[in-house]
């Protein structure tokens, strides 16, 4: 493994400063079983490398007027929370919703997610799963399915906002993307002690233990290929990579994990990226403020806190249709030190505050908007009681920062998951024009999020196995 940065983890990165350890990447970890499977593939176990603790509540959700609902770990506990806060009808609706989500997941995972496709025709073979998927109502709008199960508008927000992880409004997303809601609502949310970056460190340790070698602070300059017709450079199969130092590493297969369109431009510039990667629709981005602060969390706070804004549909219209900041944004506030005090000095806390924003195809001038967005995020945290009066360490990231880190259109969330940008329509993880070249990550199959990126590794491993003698 050749890694440009000085540590493993990729987008699940960390800043260490002043006794604080601040995660600046993915912050919600679900699907423990998928992560455990990666360690098992390396001949070890998750428990040997990482301590995962279940979060309960998984989220604290607040609504205008300081209404609050706790998203509890486990269906029975959450059913009781809903019965107490919203009534018996919605509690029964939640149980029905979880049964629907579970059936959807059991159908989608083996047949449409954890699977390599060679052509769109593969969607219809075998035909049975596709027919069953259609019968579940999976091609209806997610919001309409959620609305059928819940009358309380707070619950409608709580069980449909996950469409944002796929780069979509719940009013536009197909119900098939309810599988994302399944991942946290049914499977649960976990936290790795040491912070999210500990996941990357643990995976690297497992790989080394299985015989892999890792070179950090090493940049790949080019994927090398055999000469093509007439001696044309880069015309045939992959033979290795050239490092920025000039050193050449020979290889029968190269698996590239920079953001896919960036990988094409920088590593194989002679090959145009797939059209969908060049002209497709990318997910919204985010503004992220992380800080180390003096003081503890406010009463009632949880590890993950979602503060919903009042203008729900208008916010999605501004973000996705107009390419502008949400007028009344919903924000996610996480404190990793809430669960692991070692991540901050005694008497202090870590804060991670995220606001969805347009990506760089939107209409926001980040030169003008950057400081205003940072200030408004801090003001929102202050209004909710978070300790932001004594900031010791802070970092702020907007879409221009994500672009400088190598993320297409300044979004950490890759191509959106519109139907014709998913499954066999998404950029493939194998490059037929350069045998031996493969891709992993959020802009190839199956898609965005830690569980999906881990599955992308498993899918490409199957591809690589196919070229071995």
Q: Does pLDDT of 234 surpass 80? A: no
Number of folded domains in the chain?
A: 2
Token pair listed for 381: 């945290």
Q: Are 409 and 286 within one domain?
A: yes
Q: Is the peptide bond before 281 cis (omega within 30 degrees of 0)?
A: no
> What 3-state DSSP class applies to 410?
helix
Range 222-239 burial, b when 16+ CB lie within 10 A, else e: bbbbeeeeeeeebebebb
pLDDT for residue 48: 98
Domain-located, residue 78: yes
Model confidence at 117, in pLDDT bands (50, 70, 90)?
confident
- The residue from 187, 209, 225 where one domain ends is 187
Q: Are 142 and 153 within one domain?
A: yes
Query: CB–CB of 173/163 below 8 Å?
Result: yes
Domain-located, residue 275: no
Instruction: Give tens-digit pLDDT for 333-389.
Output: 999 999 999 999 999 999 999 999 999 999 999 999 999 999 999 999 999 999 999
pLDDT for residue 258: 95
> What 3-state DSSP class applies to 31?
coil
Q: Are 29 and 130 within one domain?
A: no
Domain with residue 318: its CATH number is 3.30.519.10
Strands 331-334 and 348-357, how do they pair? antiparallel
Query: CB–CB of 378/385 below 8 Å?
Result: no
- Closest by Cα among 429, 443, 365 to 400: 365
Domain-located, residue 240: no
Q: Are 133 and 20 within one domain?
A: no
C-alpha span between 273 and 350 (Å, rounded): 39
Helix H or strand E encompassing 53: strand 52-54
Instruction: Give tens-digit pLDDT for 164-182.
Output: 888 889 998 989 889 999 9
Q: Are 131 and 111 within one domain?
A: yes
Domain-located, residue 451: no
C-alpha span between 137 and 96 (Å, rounded): 14
Q: Are 398 and 294 within one domain?
A: yes
C-alpha span between 446 and 431 (Å, rounded): 16
Instruction: Give tens-digit pLDDT for 121-152.
Output: 887 777 888 888 888 888 889 999 999 999 99
Instruction: Give tens-digit pLDDT for 2-12.
Output: 999 999 998 89
Q: Are 343 and 365 within one domain?
A: yes
Burial class (CB in 10 A: 0-12, 13-18, 19+), 299: exposed
- By residue range, what is the domain housing residue 404? 14-73+282-414
Q: Which residues, 6 or more positions from 377, have their beta carbon under 8 angstroms from its beta carbon?
A: 287, 289, 331, 353, 355
Q: Are 42 and 85 within one domain?
A: no
pLDDT for residue 469: 35
C-alpha span between 451 and 109 (Å, rounded): 12
Q: Which residues, 6 or more positions from 151, have their beta carbon under 8 angstroms from its beta carbon?
A: 89, 90, 93
Q: Are 409 and 297 within one domain?
A: yes
Token pair listed for 207: 């790989």
Model confidence at 232, in pLDDT bands (50, 70, 90)?
low
Domain-located, residue 248: no
Tokens 């953001």 — which residue?
A: 259
CA distances from 435 to 37, 147, 258, 331, 463 (A): 28, 47, 18, 44, 11
Q: What is the pTM of this model?
A: 0.95
Model confidence at 230, in pLDDT bands (50, 70, 90)?
very low
Strands 238-243 and 437-439, how do they pair? unpaired
Q: What is the chain's alpha carbon radius of gyration, rounded to the nearest angstrom?
A: 22
Instruction: Give tens-digit pLDDT for 29-76.
Output: 999 999 999 999 999 999 999 999 999 999 999 999 878 999 999 999
DSSP character at residue 443: T
For residue 353, count other CB atoms closer than 10 A to its CB.
Answer: 25
- Closest by Cα among 388, 373, 405, 206 to 297: 388
Domain-located, residue 276: no
- Closest by Cα among 316, 322, 210, 251 to 464: 251
C-alpha span between 138 and 135 (Å, rounded): 7
- The residue from 187, 202, 224 where one domain ends is 187
C-alpha span between 274 and 298 (Å, rounded): 48
Sign of the alpha-carbon dihedral angle for 459, 461, 463, 465: negative
Q: Region 317-346: what's the mean pLDDT?
A: 96
For residue 95, count other CB atoms closer than 10 A to its CB.
Answer: 15
Q: Does pLDDT of 261 surpass 50? A: yes
Q: Region 259-281: what's the mean pLDDT?
A: 96
Q: Region 278-295: what's the mean pLDDT?
A: 97
Token pair listed for 380: 């929102």
> What 3-state DSSP class applies to 287?
strand
C-alpha span between 100 and 178 (Å, rounded): 9
Instruction: Give tens-digit pLDDT for 420-462.
Output: 898 889 999 999 999 999 999 999 999 999 999 999 999 999 9
Task: Please provide the average confidence, as pLDDT, over all residues in the chain.
Answer: 94
Q: Are 80 and 65 within one domain?
A: no
Q: Region 108-128: what's the mean pLDDT?
A: 84
Domain-located, residue 407: yes
Q: Region 288-304: what's the mean pLDDT?
A: 97
Q: Does pLDDT of 229 surpass 60? A: no
pLDDT for residue 467: 60
Domain-located, residue 378: yes
pLDDT for residue 45: 98
> What 3-state DSSP class applies to 104?
helix
- The residue from 187, 221, 256 where one domain ends is 187
DSSP character at residue 430: B
DSSP character at residue 320: I
Q: Which residues, 6 or more positions from 278, have their beta carbon under 8 angstroms from its beta carbon?
A: 261, 272
Q: Are 85 and 172 within one domain?
A: yes
DSSP character at residue 415: B
Q: Are 183 and 97 within one domain?
A: yes
pLDDT for residue 466: 85
Query: CB–CB of 313/326 below 8 Å?
Result: no
Token pair listed for 83: 């019965």
């Amino acid at each position: 493994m050749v890694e440009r940065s000085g540590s493993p983890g990729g987008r699940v990165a960390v800043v260490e400063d002043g006794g604080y350890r601040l995660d600046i990447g993915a912050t919600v970890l679900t699907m423990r079983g998928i992560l455990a499977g990666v360690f098992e593939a390396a001949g070890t176990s998750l428990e040997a490398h990482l301590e995962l603790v279940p979060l309960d509540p998984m989220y604290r959700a607040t609504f205008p007027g300081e209404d609050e609902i706790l998203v509890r770990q486990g269906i029975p506990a959450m059913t009781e929370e809903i019965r107490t806060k919203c009534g018996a009808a919605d509690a029964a609706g939640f149980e029905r919703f979880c049964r629907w989500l579970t059936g959807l997941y059991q159908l989608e995972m083996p047949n449409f997610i954890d699977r390599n496709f060679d052509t769109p025709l593969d969607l219809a073979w075998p035909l049975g799963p596709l027919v069953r998927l259609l019968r579940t109502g999976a091609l209806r709008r997610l919001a309409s399915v959620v609305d059928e199960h819940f009358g309380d508008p707070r619950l409608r927000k709580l069980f449909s906002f996950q469409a944002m992880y796929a780069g979509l409004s719940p009013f536009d997303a197909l119900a098939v993307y309810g599988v994302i809601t399944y991942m946290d609502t049914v499977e649960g949310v976990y936290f790795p002690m040491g912070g999210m970056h500990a996941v990357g460190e643990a995976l690297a340790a497992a790989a080394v233990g299985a015989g892999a070698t890792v070179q950090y602070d090493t940049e790949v300059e080019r994927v090398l290929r055999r000469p093509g017709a007439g001696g044309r450079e880069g015309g045939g199969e992959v033979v290795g990579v050239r490092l920025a130092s000039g050193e050449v590493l020979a290889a029968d297969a190269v698996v590239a994990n920079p953001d896919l369109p960036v990988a094409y431009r920088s590593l194989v510039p002679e090959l145009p990226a797939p059209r969908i990667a060049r002209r497709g629709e990318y997910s919204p981005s985010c503004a992220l403020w992380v800080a180390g602060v003096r003081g503890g969390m406010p009463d009632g706070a949880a590890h993950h806190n979602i503060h919903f804004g009042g203008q729900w549909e208008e916010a999605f219209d501004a973000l996705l249709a107009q390419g502008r900041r949400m007028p009344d944004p919903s924000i996610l506030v996480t404190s990793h030190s809430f669960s692991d005090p070692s991540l901050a000095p005694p008497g202090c806390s870590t804060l991670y505050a995220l606001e969805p924003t347009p990506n760089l195809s939107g209409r926001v001038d980040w030169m003008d908007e950057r400081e205003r967005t940072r200030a408004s995020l801090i003001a929102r945290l202050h209004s909710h009681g978070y300790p932001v009066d004594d900031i010791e360490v802070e970092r702020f990231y907007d879409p221009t920062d994500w672009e400088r880190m190598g993320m297409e259109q300044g979004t950490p969330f890759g191509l959106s998951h519109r139907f014709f940008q998913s499954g066999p329509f998404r950029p493939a993880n194998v490059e037929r024009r350069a045998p031996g070249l493969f891709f992993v990550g959020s802009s190839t199959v199956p898609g965005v999020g830690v569980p999906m990126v881990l599955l992308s590794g498993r899918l490409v491993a199957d591809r690589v196995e196919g070229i071995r003698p």
